């Protein structure tokens, strides 16, 4: 969910693009090891789920210079995963590799993005261009640099970008910016925010009473909205090494309380508010990586938060359809649904606590 979370989590690439004359310059942050291991990042949320996970881990253990050498040998194949369209009838001359910087990272249990720089040369002046990264590379945050109001876009795996203008960016209205950021917020809950999904399910499982769920969700929403805004604007900054284990602990807490209590306790609302503050900091970390458009912070922030709420409501709606609707009237609902599901959630959360502290 947060961009610096669970071990081997698949996180979005970041592509900074500049159009200058006949050249498109790309600075791309990507998971080089996943590419070399031939993992399709569009099909999973964690590289441990891939059949090629053993190869991936071996690549992670390589020294940075050896990993760079392996990538350079595969450079020609890598260029086949990037498609550029321009208005020029003369086409493109080709790709030019510039550099690959791999940060030396002793912690092999955390995801890592390396920095690849390359250029794409046209045979004619580039007025407009779009770019598409192959779906195997996963999702990509695209940011156009060098002009005012350059394109900023969240690309799903395999999605072609909107047109980027070489001269001046399209003036985007505040309502359009608001709408642009809604799917970004939604995507970071469903499907990418598994820890957030489990926390919301923990809130849902306590009781099927509307008032119980409403109190919890409203409190959680208010709390994470406060820290999302504060974190995204740089007012509050807490290291991920502190936030991430506490988010995992919040999942354990609500799940364990579901097992021992069947009613909403007064302290639970207060604690949910505190945990909501932590989850908001996690969302702020995601949003900071994507970036906020200069001069339009507020509509982008509101749109992102609305997307998060839509994602949260979709989780509750699905849980209601799959659990409450068919089994909610059963006298054994708590014994056969709430408690077993909460046990599973608690175990997953406890593993994440260990993974983000002792195993980090």
Q: What tens-digit pLDDT sequence spans the chain (360 residues)?
A: 443 344 467 788 999 999 988 899 999 999 999 999 999 998 787 787 888 988 998 888 888 899 999 999 999 999 999 999 887 655 667 899 999 998 876 566 667 789 999 999 888 888 889 999 999 999 898 988 888 778 888 888 999 999 898 876 556 778 887 888 888 888 888 877 888 899 999 999 988 888 888 888 889 989 988 988 888 877 888 887 788 889 999 999 999 999 998 888 888 888 899 999 988 888 887 777 666 776 677 888 888 889 988 998 999 999 999 998 898 888 899 999 999 999 999 999 999 999 888 875
18: left (phi over 0), alpha (psi -120 to 50) or beta: beta
Residue 3 is predicted with a pLDDT of: 38
Domain range holding 30? 13-171
Q: Are residues 17 and 125 in the same domain?
A: yes
Output the CA–CA distances (angstroms, integers) from residue 278 to 92, 222, 247, 359, in the order listed.
Answer: 47, 12, 6, 21
Residue 34 is predicted with a pLDDT of: 92
Residue 175 is predicted with a pLDDT of: 86
Q: Are residues 132 and 34 in the same domain?
A: yes
Whether the pTM exceeds 0.75: the reply is no
Q: % helix / strand / coil in the chain, to the nearest 5? A: 50, 15, 30
Q: Are residues 82 and 116 in the same domain?
A: yes
Q: Residue 191: is the preceding peptide bond cis (ω within 30°)?
A: yes
- Is residue 256 within 8 A of residue 308, CB to CB? The reply is no
Residue 85 DSSP SS3: strand
Residue 244 DSSP SS3: helix
Which among 156, 171, 186 is the end of a domain? 171
CA–CA distance, 228 with 7 (Å, rounded to integer): 23
Q: Are residues 158 and 216 in the same domain?
A: no
Residue 268 is predicted with a pLDDT of: 87
Note whether residue 4 is domain-resident: no
Note whether residue 155 is domain-resident: yes
Q: Are residues 162 and 229 in the same domain?
A: no
Count of the separate structural domains present in the chain: 2
CA–CA distance, 333 with 342 (Å, rounded to integer): 12
Q: Are strands 164-165 and 128-133 parallel, antiparallel or unpaired?
A: antiparallel
Note whether residue 135 is domain-resident: yes
Residue 289 is predicted with a pLDDT of: 67
Q: Are strands 128-133 and 152-155 parallel, antiparallel or unpaired?
A: unpaired
Instruction: State the helix-helix crossing angle for 297-319 and 174-187, rounded to 10 degrees.
Output: 40
Taken in order 262, 264, 267, 269, is the CA torsion positive or negative? positive
Q: Are residues 196 and 156 in the same domain?
A: no
- Is residue 167 within 8 A of residue 182, CB to CB? The reply is no
The token pair at 200 is 């919301």
Q: What is the DSSP letter of 293?
A: -
Residue 168 is predicted with a pLDDT of: 61
Q: Are residues 203 and 331 in the same domain?
A: yes
Q: Are residues 185 and 322 in the same domain?
A: yes
Note whether residue 187 is domain-resident: yes
Residue 4 is predicted with a pLDDT of: 39
């Amino acid at each position: 969910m947060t961009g610096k979370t669970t071990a081997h989590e698949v996180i979005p690439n970041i592509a900074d693009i500049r159009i200058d004359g006949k050249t498109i310059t790309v600075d791309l942050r990507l998971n080089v090891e996943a590419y070399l291991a031939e993992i399709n990042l569009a099909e999973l949320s964690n590289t441990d789920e891939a059949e090629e996970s053993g190869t991936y881990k071996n690549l992670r253990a390589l020294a940075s210079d050896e990993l760079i050498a392996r990538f350079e040998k595969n450079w020609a194949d890598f260029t086949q995963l990037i498609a550029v369209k321009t208005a020029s009838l003369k086409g493109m001359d080709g790709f030019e590799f510039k550099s690959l910087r791999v940060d030396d990272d002793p912690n092999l249990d955390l995801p890592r993005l390396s920095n690849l720089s390359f250029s794409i040369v046209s045979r004619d002046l580039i007025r407009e261009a779009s770019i598409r990264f192959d779906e195997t590379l996963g999702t990509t945050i695209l940011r156009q640099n060098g002009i005012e109001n350059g394109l900023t876009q969240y690309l799903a795996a395999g999605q072609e970008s909107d047109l980027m203008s070489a001269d001046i960016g399209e003036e985007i209205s505040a309502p359009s910016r608001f709408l642009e950021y809604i799917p970004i917020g939604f995507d970071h809950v469903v499907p990418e925010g598994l820890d957030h999904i489990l926390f919301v399910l923990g809130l849902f499982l306590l009781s099927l009473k509307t008032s119980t769920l409403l109190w919890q969700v409203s409190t959680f929403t208010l709390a994470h909205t406060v820290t999302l805004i504060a974190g995204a604007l740089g007012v509050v900054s807490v290291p991920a090494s502190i936030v991430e284990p506490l988010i995992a602990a919040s999942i354990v807490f609500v799940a364990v309380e579901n097992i021992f209590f069947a009613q909403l306790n007064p302290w639970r609302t207060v604690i949910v508010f505190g945990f909501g503050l932590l989850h908001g900091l996690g969302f702020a970390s995601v949003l900071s990586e994507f970036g906020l458009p200069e001069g339009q912070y507020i509509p982008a922030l509101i749109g992102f938060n609305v997307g998060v709420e839509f994602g949260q409501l979709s989780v509750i709606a699905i849980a209601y359809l799959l659990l409450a609707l068919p089994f909610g009237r059963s006298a054994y609902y708590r014994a056969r649904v709430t408690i077993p599901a909460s046990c599973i959630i608690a175990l997953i959360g406890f593993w994440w606590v260990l993974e983000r502290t002792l195993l980090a």
